[in-house]
Structure 1
Amino acid sequence: MKSIPDFLKWKADGRAITMVTCYDAATAKILNASSVDSILVGDSCAMVVHGYDSTVHATVEMIATHTAAVRRGAPDKVIIADLPFLSNRKGTEIAMDAVDQLMKAGANAVKLERRKGNIQLIEHIVDSGVPVMGHLGLTPQSVNAFGGFKMQAKSDAAARALIEDAKMLELAGCFSVVLECIPGDVAAQVTEALTIPTIGIGCGPEVSGQVLVVNDLLGMDRSFQPRFARKYANLAETIGQAVDSYCADVQSKAFPAAGEYSSKLVKAAS
């Protein structure tokens, strides 16, 4: 079984890390039999599963419920759970209660967005025996401050600041850092500057690994096709066609057919 220390080994060996975001036991069961290294139970579940317009609607209880489901489906994978919006900004006691819930739900680590104002908490979480993954660049919980889901670190000053933030996260004890929607050359510089691995999404190939939402790579949503999310399947079409075929068979009474149901009454023993 893979574990958190493997992340450092994989970077040292130059071996790319694979991660997907997943929220349910059925999909996690499929992933457990795949070659993917790790699963992120992201606060993006608020959007992908619950239909909200941003991740700020995620709660600790929501993430814990999805984490427990994914753990039941994928007992052999490294699972990282997101600390949702403001759960880490209400004082150490409340933050640690959130960490406690996510770890007891089955996570191997937690992920925390941004550096500013979080260093002492990260140190405390790590000192408590819980691995922490950082997250820089486009941090979706800050969507309102950014004015939307926009590319980050586009200027020289912003790039330098992000690199320094990444170094501080490493010093605080993070075992890896997610880099989201930043220029490829900046992501490469961050990766070079750190000992710990970087996991990229929308920031090019010169990182230690990649993460995609499994629903995106499977093509589950026809209306959501960001440039960075390559589709490896088109399940929205496949599922739609399957359901339409089922409906047609029901209406024509082709389903159920002989052999798909019992045609004889089973008499009780007298």
Structure 2
Amino acid sequence: MGEVTLPHAPYNAHPFLMRVLLTRPLAQSEGFAAQIRARFGEVVETAICPLVEIVFLPVEVDFSGFDAVVFTSQNGVAAYHRLGGPARLSAYCVGDRTAQAARGLGMEAFSADGDVRALNALVAKKANGAKLAHLSGRDVAGKIDGNITRIEAYFQAPVEPSPAMQALLAHDDTLIVPLFSAQGARRFDAAIGQGSRAGLHAICMSRAVADQLDPAQFKEIRHDGPPSAKGMLDKMSDFFPP
């Protein structure tokens, strides 16, 4: 579901065509694919092959006792919407796409445009002392500081590598793979299995993400730069013509 059907033509069918493999859950992959197209245009082809799917948990939450909400992903925003969360609460969000999703619910949303450390700085600056609800997944990458209640609202269920992904890994040309989390990096590293014929270039959100990968499987692993969507795009920019 959500996969791009890939042509069997060689990569050099277009003189500048590069392929990017996106393995995050469907909504996040589609959002980042749109950002890639907006930044680089027609010289890039994205293949969406999720290695996880989001499963929402049947929790009940009374939001009347909270002053604001913290979102560390778009999945948290979706969970909030499913739980009937009110638009009157402000939202403190890890990144711009998450903030945009919260605004889509009518919420006033602030973006840290970074990682959990940046989000903690934003919360400390703007919501010091407020009673916060954090709509999170079962696994969390970092602790949110402050007067906060974590509500486990969803989990990520693993998905087997699709035939489209297997076909990409079997092809002997360059493949760019953005990896946003340590968990996502571990899943992709495991999906490679006994090896890939593709020349894999991992674009990692941080050093902690890069450390989950087996360097022997990759032509290159990049992790320097800001831990944001823009930082990820910047790390990819020299693969594409100006």
Give the alignment's TM-score, normalised by structure 2.
0.30
From the two aligned structures, give the one with the greater helix fraction: 1
Of the two, which has the highest radius of gyration?
1
